Structure 1
Amino acid sequence: MKKLFISAAVLVMSLTAAAQEAFSAYSPYSLFGIGQIESVGDQNTAAMGGIGLGLRDPGLINLLNPAAVTAREKDAFMVDFGVKQTNMLFAGADAEGQLAKSAKNLFNIDHVVASFPIYNHSAFKVGIMPYSNSGYAFTFHEYKDEVLATLGDVQYFRTGQGGINQVFAGAGVTLFDRLSLGADGIFYIGTIKRSTSTNFNTNEYQRTASRSWTVVPRGFSAKLGLQYEQPLGERTSLTVGATYKVGSKLKGSYTDVAYATGGNYTDTTLNNSYSVEYKIPQEIAVGFTIRRTDSWMFGFDYTRQDWTKSVFDPTPGVNFSTGVAQSFNAGLEFIPNRYDVRYYFRTVTYRLGAYHKTQYIMIDGHQVTTNGITLGFALPVYNRRTSVSFAVDLGQTSLAGAASITTPGNVRERYVKFSMGLNLYDLWFQKVLYN
């Protein structure tokens, strides 16, 4: 079984690296800054609206709070990885102000993480998951009469691809039975590529003017977490959790290339490389859960990150600025009878949740906002701790306060995300007794 865990972890890490060559996200809003910030968590927390700051479950690896790594059986070893299918429908105004629609489907490996005990009430974890993603591709034709009269048919292309991953390792310890502390060290690594092209398609003036930007950022950060568990009765408890992520600076190389092509020639008009630095602000989060052992659990989280002092490269033609990112998450789970031996589906964990988020991206003073509802379940297998989890996320992203989806710059994204995760659980160093 241990060899299975190690082989699975190595395989998924390899696949995760390979997946970076394809679109890992798709959204017009990822055109700005370092792209859209990804939600933290696995399929279990995703099914509950993304909560997890106060979550302590010995059968799960909690990715939201470093202190939760100590919620485990003494000799437990766990590996968790997940995949995600995203179906999106976009609606917004085209260059002429008319309503236009499009759709996109994506499949990605989401995360991989392993956790194992260190000594007594302490444990360690290591893993990789996305931090931000940038992915878009759209085209439109020139519609202004004065331009058409001079240049004829002109077509514009905009593409973007890439993102930033976070590789992390952390440990935690439980003190005085109720207080748990933890810390994660985080290394950011990634590549973001963006390009624009303008095609002049008339026979008399046929050529293409293109420009591409590539940024390769690197950086370090740390996340501190604590959890305090207070019994409220024989089987009921309240757990309060909080995390603080240290602000960091992403530094790296930035390459800017511009060139023109026409017929059989290519003329490079610009080729510059220089260093860049992006500020990632500190993040503060608090949350709680109320749990009745082996029956039900309810939780709520709040997260805040002030991006107003972060400066990114401007986007020509768009009034882009940064704001305060916040998220409100609520969720619950219910288990009819974890130890039922007659009816399997009574041992299944059923989950439900909802969330409201404001992203750091602002366009013309309107902040990008996301709302969604979630649901899912976990199917227990081998020893009731190993499980296969499923989550469905139905949501919408748009500009808050925009009059309609035909407002310039406003794109309504409606999406359905299907995710599946496998949590492998085993016990190390057990003594087998024989009569």
Structure 2
Amino acid sequence: MIRNIVVVVLLFTSLAFMGQRSSSSPYSYFGIGDEFTANTVEQSSMGGIGVAFSHYKYLNFTNPAAYGNLRYTTYGFGLLNNDLTIKTGDDKQSSTSTSLSYIALAFPIGKSAGFSFGLQPISTVGYSLSNSSQDADGNTTEISLFEGNGGVNRFHAAFGIKVYKGLSLGIEGDYNFGNIENSITNQIADVSLATKYREKTEIDGLSLKIGAQYEHKLKNNLIVNAGASVKLGNDIDVKGESLTYSLTLTNTGGEFVRDTLADQNGDKLTAIDGAFKLPINTIIGVGVGELDKWYAGVEYENQDAITTSGLLANTNGAYRYGSSNRISLGGFYLPKINSISSYWNRVTYRAGFSYKNTGLLVDGSGNNSNFTDIKDFGISFGLGIPLKQLSTVNMGFEFGKRGTTDNNLIEENYFNFRLSLSLTDNWFVKRKID
């Protein structure tokens, strides 16, 4: 009963967090925003690996085939706190944001299958940038303010099953949904009215992932794992409208709207209708370890360039997409799972690193001809602190750098603290004593 109450509380708490800004990154300006990797806290603490790894009580957002080994019902709830320092030339600025990482439930079906579903953000928009121009005397002649908020979430459902000895197969379906608002406010010196361009869009789309895992036990208690997942190509539809209007700005940042401006056709609202076309995403990995003792693995992810269609095809002059790839290495060590003499021997210690070419290319020159790859490197570690029975509190720490100050761009140094509660229980078991 207590566990059911906890799950209900976590569900309503997660809905509250869905409405909060969860990014302060200027790179969230591009595309559908600052994209999250779909990992649990346990996976993130190991550099993001998970395609080859499966366990009888852990969630796995990388490979649905892992649920073929699930033996316990697991509730998962994760939070992310992001401390971000932005550097451009000699200037620095820091910010902090907190957001929901995921809420999910997984349970076994018989002795050789498992099912999971949950809610998780996949991208977020949350930026506020300003740009000013000065004359020869250093007086400000023009100020532009760029702001955005919103994001995209996914509801996912996954099924995995053992089909032959150590071979498991899985399938996952996602429904992606969300909304994003972007605006540009421009004020020219000695002009009484400012102008603002604002666009609001709604986003939705479906996606499908298939996965496979193979596990082979050696004579010396070692277990060798291999895994692969393929997310099929899909479209994320973007629909909405934009408008431009004049306004008066107050000293406290307030707005008094004066008039909505019409375009050359006399329309005050302009329809936005397009799509991001996501190509096939492939992840492969291998690992070796001993059950509930230690594990080490490596995985590689690759995806071709994202393309756009409809009206979106003409709106990305300042950026474009190239192929993306990632390599991650990580693992865990558990001294003694049933230790009586030392509590810390029952703690799981995790570590890893990840290097990623995000696939985003940004032009900092302003002439749409000099594009720079945005890359990301992170080092992570974490703890799995045992509670009663098989439940755990998981903490993850990640230090990393994204972007560069070259080509008039922005370098981000980040520290991510992740926290999750993993409640593990038995379902569908007949009680011997009422």
TM-score by length of 2: 0.90
Cα distance in 2 between the residues matched to 1:22 and 1:408:
32
- Residue in structure 1 matched with residue 75 of structure 2 by the alignment: 79
CA distance in 2, matches of 1:200, 1:147: 15
Shift of 1:267: 1.1
2:340 counterpart of 1:341:
yes
Q: Is the 8 A contact 1:285 1:301 kept in 2?
A: yes
The change in CA–CA distance for 1:17 and 1:273 in structure 2 (over 3 A counts) is: farther
The answer to whether structure 1 residue 183 and structure 2 residue 179 are counterparts is no
Q: Contact 2:216–2:223 at 8 Å: present in 1 too?
A: yes
Q: C-alpha distance in 2, partners of 1:82/1:194?
A: 28
Residue of structure 1 in register with 2:273 after alignment = 275
Q: Report the CA distance shift for 1:10/1:200 in structure 2 as closer, same or farther (over 3 A).
A: farther
1:419: how far off? 0.7
1:216-231 equivalent positions in 2, closer than 5 A = 216-231=202-217
Contact 1:314 1:320 in 2 (8 A): no
Counterpart residue number, 1:402:
none
* Coordinate RMSD, CA, aligned: 2.1
Matched residue type, 2:214:
Y
The one of 380, 393, 413 equivalent to 1:374 is 380
Match of 2:252 in 1: none
Quick one: which of 192, 198, 201 aligns to 1:215? 201
Partner of 1:45: 43
Gaps (5+ residues) in structure 2?
250-255, 262-267, 363-369
Contact 1:249 1:277 (C-alpha < 8 Å) held by counterparts: yes
Higher relative contact order by CA 8 Å / sep ≥ 6: 1 or 2? 1
Structure-2 residue corresponding to 1:17: 15
Q: Does the 8 Å contact 1:9/1:112 carry over to 2?
A: no
SS in structure 2 at match of 1:382: coil
Whether 1:137 and 2:128 are equivalent positions in the alignment is yes
The SS at the match of 1:159 is strand
Secondary structure at 2:269's aligned position in 1? strand
Q: Match for 1:290 among 288, 291, 300?
A: 288
Deviation at residue 420 of structure 1 after TM alignment: 0.6
Aligned pair in 2 of structure 1 residues 12, 433: CA closer, same or farther (>3 Å)? Answer: closer
1:9-64 per-residue CA deviation (whole Å, 9 max, x = no partner) reads: 34333333333332111211111111222111111111100000011111211111
Measure the CA separation in 2 of the matches of 1:373 and 1:67. 27
Aligned 8 A contact 2:355 2:378 in 1: yes
> For the residues of structure 1 that align with 2:183 and 2:303, how far apart are their CA atoms?
29
Q: Secondary structure at the match of 1:206?
A: coil
Note if 1:170 corresponds to 2:166: no
Of all paired residues, the percent bearing the same amino acid is 24
CA–CA distance in structure 2, aligned partners of residues 251 and 68 of structure 1: 30
Distance 1:146 1:219 in 2: 52
- Equivalent-residue separation in structure 2 for 1:181 and 1:314 (angstroms): 41
CA pair 21-142 structure 1, distance change in 2 beyond 3 A: farther
Moved more, 188-197 or 17-26: 17-26
Q: Which AA in structure 1 matches 2:320? A: S
Secondary structure of the residue aligned to 2:193 is strand
2:184 is the counterpart of 1:196: yes
1:58 equivalent among 56, 59, 80: 56
2:84 to 88, 94, 97: 88
Work out whether residues 310 and 322 of structure 1, in 8 Å CA contact, stay in contact via their aligned partners in 2: no
Could you tell me which of 386, 394, 407 is aligned with 1:389?
394
| 1:307 correspondence with 2:305 | yes
Instruction: Decide whether the 8 Å contact of 1:186 with 1:221 is kept in 2.
Output: yes
Q: For each residue in 1:275-321, what CA deviation from the matched residue of structure 2 results, as whole angstroms up to 9, or x when unmatched?
A: 222212210110112011222100111111112544545568x6311
Are 1:250 and 2:236 matched, yes or no?
yes
> Residues 152-195 of structure 1, C-alpha deviation per residue, up to 9 Å, x if partnerless?
64221111111111110111111223111110110000111111
Matched, 1:328 2:327: yes
> Is the Cα contact below 8 Å between 1:32 and 1:315 reproduced in 2?
no
1:158 to 132, 146, 149: 146
Q: For 1:167 and 1:20, locate their aligned partners in 2 and report how far apart those are by CA, in whole Å.
A: 13
Q: Provide the C-alpha distance between the structure 2 equivalents of 1:297 and 1:123, rounded to a whole number of angstroms.
A: 22
TM-score by length of 1: 0.90
Post-superposition Cα deviations, 1:339-370, rounded to whole Å, max 9, x if no partner, equal 11110001100011000011121023311100
| Residues matched between the structures, number | 412
1:394-429 Cα distance to aligned partner (Å, 9 max, x none): 000014xxxxx2x34421100100111010000123
Counterpart amino acid of residue 143 in structure 2: Q
